[in-house]
């Protein structure tokens, strides 16, 4: 009788119209050294050739499996379907347009298990599709000194408008048993910030997060992507999701203070986007009304609107690489 050995890791790749990028993502997962693995590609009702391409790859490698959804669930719902179907000891989320380096998974698992951690994150290389050179997001010595990622530091790094390092772009690996025991999954309806919310919830549940300082995840930034267009409903959804998070968890004082600053930054961003919308529509009354309600939001007009909008988008979509790890206020 044939026995099946549990894989060390399951890679969950949510794919939507990813025909141009999905093969490199899958191949990078399959190229992981010193671990056993499976790759679950969850197609979220793509209208391109994604399913056909993944199906062809799966025919040639039994470690690859296509999970074809019958209705579009968004990134969180698609990843949840992958987690539910996974069998690995660890769950690693890989975006369909990114890749990982061959030694990444073994390093992260070794780091986590040496610390009895339920979560692991690592450094990232940022690759641009234009002519800019690639960069490493964090200085390795900085991450080595930290050792672990705490909830308060994670929240504090995800405050909009700040020119600082952002831990929200780290791609965590989770012990599957930890996710299942705690009932943790991605937010089903949140289309932006679902990665942030899951890791914040895992940390709030008491998960220990080990940091591997070596870059292993390659984050590709495509400036023309529609996913990088920030709209008011995105901010509203993030505010609502954070409210659910606060209703569910009682935070320690340091984390609660960081959350207050994050909440304030989201409200500022919301009001600023409303001001910009009012200016574009030449609705002076609307601009004045918002300015009276939130005078702080007006300070962002000191910087050219396009520059400030780009700064907000970078806080959420495309992280600026840090050459100085000291926090700086914008």
Write out pLDDT tens, residues 289-313. Answer: 666 566 555 555 554 434 444 554 5
40-70 confidence digits (pLDDT tens): 999 999 999 999 999 999 999 999 999 999 9
Q: Considering the chain, what is the average pLDDT of its residues?
A: 86
| Span 9-47, pLDDT tens digits | 999 999 999 999 999 999 999 999 999 999 999 999 999
pLDDT in the model for residue 271 = 82
DSSP 210-244: EEEEEEEEEEEE-TT-GGG---HHHHHHHHHHHHH
Residue among 218, 41, 32 at smallest CA distance from 122: 218
Which residues pair with residue 212 across a beta bridge? 122
Instruction: Give 182's pLDDT tier (boundaries 50, 70, 90).
Output: very high
DSSP strand E in the chain: where?
9-15, 37-43, 64-68, 90-93, 99-100, 119-128, 135-136, 173-175, 209-221
Number of H helices, E strands in the chain: 13, 9
pLDDT reading at 268 higher than 80: yes
Bridge partners of residue 37, in order along the sequence: 9
Q: Which residue has the tokens 């993502």?
A: 25
- Output the pLDDT for position 222: 73
| CB neighbourhood size of 245 (10 A) | 18
Supply the pLDDT for residue 39: 98
Q: How far apart are CA 313 and CA 315, in angstroms?
A: 5
d(CA 230, CA 236): 11
With a cut of 70, say whether residue 314 has pLDDT above it. no
Q: Which two tokens stand for residue 210?
A: 């080990």
pLDDT tens, residue by residue, 70-88: 999 999 999 999 999 999 9
Task: Identify the pLDDT of residue 226.
Answer: 37
């Amino acid at each position: 009788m044939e026995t099946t050995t549990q894989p060390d890791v399951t890679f969950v790749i949510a794919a939507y119209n990813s025909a141009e990028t999905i093969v490199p993502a899958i191949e990078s997962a399959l190229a992981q050294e010193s671990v056993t693995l499976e790759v679950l590609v969850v197609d979220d009702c793509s209208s391109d050739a994604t399913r056909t391409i993944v199906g062809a790859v799966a025919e040639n490698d039994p470690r690859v499996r296509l999970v074809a959804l019958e209705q579009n669930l968004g990134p969180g719902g698609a990843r949840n379907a992958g987690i539910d179907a996974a069998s690995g000891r660890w769950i690693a989320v890989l975006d369909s347009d990114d890749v990982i380096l061959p030694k990444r998974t073994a390093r992260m698992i070794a780091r986590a298990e040496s610390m009895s951690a339920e979560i692991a994150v690592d450094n990232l290389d940022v690759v641009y599709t234009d002519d800019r050179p690639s960069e490493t997001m964090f200085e390795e010595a900085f991450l080595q000194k930290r050792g672990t990622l705490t909830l308060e530091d994670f929240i504090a790094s995800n405050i909009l408008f700040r020119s600082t390092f952002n831990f929200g772009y780290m791609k965590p690996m989770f012990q599957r048993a930890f996710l299942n025991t705690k009932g943790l999954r991605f937010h089903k309806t949140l289309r932006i910030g679902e990665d942030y919310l899951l890791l914040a919830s895992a940390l709030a549940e008491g998960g220990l997060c080990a940091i591997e300082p070596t870059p292993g995840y390659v984050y590709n930034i495509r400036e023309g992507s529609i996913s990088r267009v920030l709209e008011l409903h995105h901010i509203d959804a993030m505010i609502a999701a954070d409210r659910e998070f606060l209703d569910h968890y009682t935070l320690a004082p340091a984390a609660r203070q960081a959350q207050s600053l994050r909440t304030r930054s989201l409200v500022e961003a919301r009001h600023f986007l409303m001001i910009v919308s009012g200016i574009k529509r030449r609705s002076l009354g609307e601009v004045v009304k918002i300015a009276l309600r939130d005078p702080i939001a007006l300070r962002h007009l000191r910087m050219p609107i396009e520059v400030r909008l780009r700064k907000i988008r970078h806080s959420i979509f495309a992280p600026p690489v840090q050459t100085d790890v000291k926090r700086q206020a914008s």
